[in-house]
């Protein structure tokens, strides 16, 4: 079990290190003299190499060793960094990642292709490494023990939290044994508590090791690097200064006798030398005064938790919210003041638990954004375009599930922007624009949602070309008048494309319709804004979470509906008059109205004589939803609708009320856009008459 935890920790940390490596290499491409980035890449590969040995990923260790050698030359200035070298190192980082993933999923990789690619990279690394032959380099094998091997004494004091981190001390010793010969190993009982006071989860292991091998101090210390401060390590060569061994013995405490035996048996010290170093015995030692806890106890700023456990917690909190709503409703019916007060307190506490649980699932969008510098780098080289990427808003947070599912739609948009949007350098120069194109990724919070924008400074979308293609495909009747927004909406139709030729990136009409479908599956919306000659912006609006929200409950007839509270601006009373209203004047503003009874085909119940308008917004656009009754705020646990209702417009989910009845959750942004499109069509039809 311990080795399984070590393995999972290594895999997770290696993925993070490789992502950091990619970012550092892309910085190096722009600034080859950035020594800190070179050092960061070296440290990452060095750590992966050392940690890989602990879990017996020998192929990872061997390849990382070769990459580390080249990076050491670059770090010392013996090898110049250029675009070609950065491209090679990016490939090497990818290969390291694939080697690690092969251990995670042995059947998921093409071993022959992986080995072939590894050999090619080793040849390239040898060609770039100063003084190396063209023969592929491999990691050095441990030499057999013999008189030429250097002798070392190693003292290891493992920290108390080693087991809690899922680490196994024996694995470090086994890895050390692959680098040479362990001639003697002694365990000591320094600091061991009494049996009654012993915590089985705490490590009290102390080792004295006599080691011989053709390896330096740095190589030995590298074996224990993965402990990251969870041990005290002392490494002394057999030819160390007499005083160095004296300090080592003085710090050994209760384990001094075992250390002394190991030093003499290994030949590091003679018996006479040992007698000179050991102080005379004392009757008793003065008890040590307890001090503050060691700094290492404060190092754990993060705890890794399995996603399934987090999902289970969120589900349980959701059920608790529903149960609390039911209990609160029953308490109100009892008309018991003390009971209502107790339920009110319980409800506030449940809301706090809910918010804390949801915050555990919130991650920064930067986790997704950081993959795109590499995408822009590679696609730009493939297209022969010089494109820079600007990122802002990486700190904006949203639900982890949303982050994972929005990555693919964003990938489509970024690649389309580079292929379709940004022109070749010659066209840009002729148009008076910089030869290098710019792509921007922005994220920000707005009214309980997160907005992600993908913007390019290319030629923009050509309205006439889109409309012509739509007519050719039969999507629009010839001669029909469409507004600009309606024309741009056509690019999201299935199979629609304006590309003149098919490429590896685009032209097959697959992409934007999938993007819209995936975004809407997340209860989000996507819109496009384009200006000829200046560029295009795709704007994605997503909910912060897919689990629990604060809602506003309304009724139409006998049916209940919930809308996200963050989208509600205010509530108004609908003026009494005959006929259906399409507009309402609101403090000098014309507000389009949507009658939910009509829009959702509600047939049960009788319309109220006095009806209400709930003003909602989606970004800067506002509309009024006409309902029969306002029922107030409601803590909403979102339940999926199921496959039967996946194409239902205006509804994004369902929830369970305290009474046990089901209420539908309104897709307020979709309803607002529906009202805007309706009025745009009405205006165009009026102008064409």
Between residues 505 and 399, which one has the greater pLDDT?
399
What pLDDT is stored for residue 489 in this prediction? 83
What pLDDT is stored for residue 282 in this prediction? 40
Q: From CA 684, how far away is CA 676, in angstroms rounded?
A: 12
pLDDT tens digits, one per residue of 646-689: 666 778 778 888 777 888 888 877 777 776 666 666 666 655 55
- Checking if the pLDDT of 513 tops 70, the result is yes
Tell me the average pLDDT across 424-446: 91
Structure-block tokens of residue 95: 């290969």
Cβ pair 233, 223 in contact under 8 A: no
- Flag the least confident range among 7-16, 210-219, 286-295, 297-306: 286-295
Q: From CA 386, how far away is CA 634, in angstroms rounded?
A: 51
Cβ pair 173, 260 in contact under 8 A: no
| Residue 56 banded pLDDT, cuts 50, 70, 90 | confident
Look at residues 557, 561, 551, 575 and name the one whose alpha carbon lies nearest to residue 663: 561
Q: From CA 186, how far away is CA 409, in angstroms rounded?
A: 58
Backbone angles phi, psi at 49, to 5 degrees: -65, -50
What pLDDT is stored for residue 95 in this prediction? 93
What pLDDT is stored for residue 680 in this prediction? 64
Cβ pair 421, 458 in contact under 8 A: yes
- Checking if the pLDDT of 442 tops 60, the result is yes
Tell me the average pLDDT across 170-194: 81
What pLDDT is stored for residue 603 in this prediction? 81
Between residues 607 and 43, which one has the greater pLDDT?
43
CB under 8 Å to 135, separation ≥6 — which residues? 126
Structure-block tokens of residue 535: 């560029």
What pLDDT is stored for residue 107 in this prediction? 75
Three-state DSSP state, 637: strand
pLDDT tens digits, one per residue of 614-651: 998 876 778 888 899 898 887 777 776 766 666 667 78
- Checking if the pLDDT of 60 tops 80, the result is yes
Residue with tokens 């006929």: 579
Tell me the average pLDDT across 494-519: 66
Cβ pair 631, 638 in contact under 8 A: no
What pLDDT is stored for residue 6 in this prediction? 66
**Environment class of 64 (CB within 10 Å of its CB; exposed 0-12, middle 13-18, buried 19+):** buried
Radius of gyration of the chain (CA): 34
CB under 8 Å to 465, separation ≥6 — which residues? 498
Q: From CA 347, how far away is CA 332, in angstroms rounded?
A: 13
Distances (CA, A) of 655 to 313, 343, 428, 457, 641: 18, 21, 52, 43, 9
Residue with tokens 């639900």: 399
Between residues 283 and 325, which one has the greater pLDDT?
325
Structure-block tokens of residue 683: 């205006």
Q: From CA 375, how far away is CA 24, in angstroms rounded?
A: 15
What pLDDT is stored for residue 170 in this prediction? 83
- Checking if the pLDDT of 302 tops 90, the result is no
Residue with tokens 């802002």: 392
- Checking if the pLDDT of 260 tops 60, the result is yes
Bridge partner residues of 570 (DSSP)? 615
What pLDDT is stored for residue 502 in this prediction? 52
- Checking if the pLDDT of 53 tops 60, the result is yes
Structure-block tokens of residue 477: 């009747």
**Environment class of 655 (CB within 10 Å of its CB; exposed 0-12, middle 13-18, buried 19+):** buried
| Residue 425 banded pLDDT, cuts 50, 70, 90 | very high
CB under 8 Å to 43, separation ≥6 — which residues? none
Q: Give the DSSP letter of residue 301.
A: -
Q: What percent of the chain has pLDDT over 90?
A: 12
| Mean pLDDT, the chain, whole residue set | 79
CB under 8 Å to 197, separation ≥6 — which residues? none
The DSSP string of 315-374 is HHHHHHHHHHHHHHHHHHHHT-HHHHHHHHHHHHHHHHHHHHHHHHTEEETHHHHTTHHH
Q: What is the 3-state secondary structure (H, E, C) of 506-574?
A: CCCCCCHHHHHHHHHHCCCEEEEEEECCCEEEEEEEEECCCCEEEEEEEEECCEEEEEEHHHEEEEEEC
Q: From CA 209, how far away is CA 205, in angstroms rounded?
A: 13
pLDDT tens digits, one per residue of 117-153: 999 999 999 888 876 544 444 444 433 433 446 788 8
pTM (predicted TM-score): 0.60
Look at residues 394, 409, 397 and name the one whose alpha carbon lies nearest to residue 450: 397
Bridge partner residues of 656 (DSSP)? 662
What pLDDT is stored for residue 505 in this prediction? 57
What pLDDT is stored for residue 446 in this prediction? 79
What pLDDT is stored for residue 601 in this prediction? 82
pLDDT tens digits, one per residue of 576-615: 764 556 778 878 788 888 888 888 888 877 777 788 899 9
- Checking if the pLDDT of 287 tops 70, the result is no
Between residues 166 and 52, which one has the greater pLDDT?
52
Three-state DSSP state, 389: strand
- Checking if the pLDDT of 455 tops 90, the result is yes
- Checking if the pLDDT of 74 tops 60, the result is yes
pLDDT tens digits, one per residue of 224-247: 877 766 778 888 887 666 566 777
What pLDDT is stored for residue 657 in this prediction? 81
| Residue 361 banded pLDDT, cuts 50, 70, 90 | confident
CB under 8 Å to 272, separation ≥6 — which residues? none
pLDDT tens digits, one per residue of 534-567: 999 999 988 877 677 788 999 998 888 988 888 8
Q: From CA 38, how far away is CA 186, in angstroms rounded?
A: 40
Residue with tokens 């629990």: 548
What pLDDT is stored for residue 136 in this prediction? 45
- Flag the least confident range among 102-111, 142-151, 363-372: 142-151
Q: From CA 434, how far away is CA 596, in angstroms rounded?
A: 50
Bridge partner residues of 273 (DSSP)? none
- Checking if the pLDDT of 440 tops 90, the result is yes
What pLDDT is stored for residue 252 in this prediction? 67
């Amino acid at each position: 079990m311990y080795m399984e935890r070590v393995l999972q920790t290594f895999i997770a940390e290696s993925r993070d290190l490789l992502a950091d490596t990619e970012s550092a290499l892309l910085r190096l491409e722009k600034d080859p003299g950035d020594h800190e980035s070179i050092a960061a890449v070296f440290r990452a590969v060095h750590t992966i190499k050392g940690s890989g040995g602990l879990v017996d990923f020998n192929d990872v260790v061997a390849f990382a060793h070769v990459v580390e050698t080249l990076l050491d030359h670059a770090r010392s200035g013996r090898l110049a960094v250029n675009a070609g070298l950065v491209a090679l190192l990016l490939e090497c980082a990818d290969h390291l990642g694939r080697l690690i993933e092969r251990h995670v999923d042995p059947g998921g990789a093409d071993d022959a292709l992986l080995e072939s690619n590894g050999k090619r990279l080793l040849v390239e690394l040898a060609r770039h490494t100063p003084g190396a032959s063209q023969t592929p380099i491999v990691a050095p094998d441990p030499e057999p023990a013999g008189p030429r091997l250097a002798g070392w004494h190693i003292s290891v004091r493992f920290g108390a939290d080693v087991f809690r981190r899922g680490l196994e001390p024996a694995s470090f010793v086994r890895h050390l044994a692959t680098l040479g010969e362990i001639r003697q190993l002694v365990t000591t009982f320094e600091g061991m508590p009494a049996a009654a006071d012993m915590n089985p989860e705490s490590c009290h292991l102390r080792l004295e090791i006599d080691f011989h091998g053709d390896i330096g101090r740095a190589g030995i210390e590298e074996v224990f690097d993965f402990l990251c401060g969870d041990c005290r390590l002392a490494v002394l060569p057999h030819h160390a200064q007499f005083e160095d061994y004296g300090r080592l013995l003085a710090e050994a405490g209760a384990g001094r006798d075992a250390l002394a035996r190991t030093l003499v048996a290994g030949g590091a010290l003679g018996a006479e030398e040992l007698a000179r170093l050991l102080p005379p015995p004392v009757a008793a030692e003065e008890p040590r005064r307890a001090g503050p806890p060691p700094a290492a106890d404060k190092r754990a700023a993060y705890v890794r938790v399995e996603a399934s456990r987090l999902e289970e917690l969120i589900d349980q909190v959701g059920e608790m919210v529903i149960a609390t709503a039911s209990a609160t409703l029953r308490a109100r019916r009892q008309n018991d003041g003390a009971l209502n007060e107790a339920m009110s307190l319980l409800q506030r506490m449940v809301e706090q638990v809910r918010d804390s649980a949801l915050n555990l699932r919130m991650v920064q969008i930067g986790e997704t954004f950081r993959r795109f510098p590499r995408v822009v780098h590679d696609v730009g080289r493939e297209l022969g375009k010089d494109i820079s990427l600007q990122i802002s808003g990486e700190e904006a947070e949203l639900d982890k599930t949303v982050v994972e599912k929005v990555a693919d739609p964003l990938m489509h948009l970024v690649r389309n922007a580079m292929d379709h949007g940004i022109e070749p350098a010659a066209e840009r120069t002729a148009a008076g624009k910089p030869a290098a194109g710019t792509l921007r990724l922005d994220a920000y919070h707005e009214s309980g949602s997160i907005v992600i924008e993908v913007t390019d400074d290319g030629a923009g979308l050509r309205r006439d070309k889109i409309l012509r293609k739509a007519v050719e495909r039969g999507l629009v009747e010839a001669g029909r008048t469409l507004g600009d927004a309606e024309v741009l909406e056509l690019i999201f139709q299935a199979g629609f494309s304006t590309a003149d030729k098919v490429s590896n990136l685009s032209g097959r009409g697959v992409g934007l319709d999938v993007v819209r479908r995936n975004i809407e599956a997340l209860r989000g919306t996507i819109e496009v804004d384009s200006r000829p000659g200046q560029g295009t912006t795709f704007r994605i609006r997503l909910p912060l979470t897919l689990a629990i929200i604060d809602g506003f409950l309304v009724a139409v007839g006998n049916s209940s509906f919930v809308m996200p509270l963050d989208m509600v601006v205010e509530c108004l009373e609908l003026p009494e008059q005959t006929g259906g209203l399409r507009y309402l004047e609101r403090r000098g503003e014309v507000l389009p109205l949507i009658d939910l009874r009509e829009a959702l085909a509600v047939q049960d119940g009788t319309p109220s004589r006095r009806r209400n308008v709930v003003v909602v917004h989606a970004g800067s656009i506002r509309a009024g939803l006409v309902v029969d009754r306002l029922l107030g705020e409601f803590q909403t646990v979102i339940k999926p609708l199921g496959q039967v209702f996946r194409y239902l417009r205006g509804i994004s989910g369902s929830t369970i009320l305290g009474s046990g009845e089901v209420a539908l959750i309104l897709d307020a942004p979709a309803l607002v856009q529906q009202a805007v499109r309706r009025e745009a069509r009405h205006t165009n039809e009026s102008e064409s008459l």
